[in-house]
Structure 1
Amino acid sequence: MAITHPQNMRPQMPAVARIAATSSPVLTTRVFPALAVVGATYAVISYVRSELGRETNTFDKMFDQQNTPEVMAARRKALEVEVNGDPRNNLLNILGWTK
């Protein structure tokens, strides 16, 4: 003999389980992990970009205070800028690309 429960006494599934049970397996196995990877990658890239920008601004302020005409003339002479070219314009100077 089976015992029947009234409608209001039936055990309810948690909301998260109901959503997971009704959603497509493609969404849970393909889309959500991809969105998580894209979101994490975007967050890391944004953080690194902001930190590089902050450091570049800090160094620019320091160098602006130190780069007097006398210092620049001594630098040009020591590095032979006229002969070898300015190393700040080198292809490998990644931090100077934005200028």
Structure 2
Amino acid sequence: MKMWLLVSHLVIISITTCLAEFTWYRRYGHGVSEEDKGFGPIFEEQPINTIYPEESLEGKVSLNCRARASPFPVYKWRMNNGDVDLTSDR
């Protein structure tokens, strides 16, 4: 999953994390055989801790995250202890 942020919305240093939840176990973990529980998440790619200058010429940054799990993981992005709204253009 790739996330774009406008650089003007980053405050000096923003530590952004990608969280992939293993929803099957959280919902159905009890009373299910070990074989049927699935696996994961196994992170294959995570964002690198980087400082992006506010005066960047492109005006945006790209952060990548990729995880494997069964069932498919649900991704959430967090910045400065808050959830990032991926539906917003801002």
Q: TM-score, normalised by structure 1?
A: 0.19
Q: Which has the higher helix share?
A: 1
Q: TM-score, normalised by structure 2?
A: 0.20
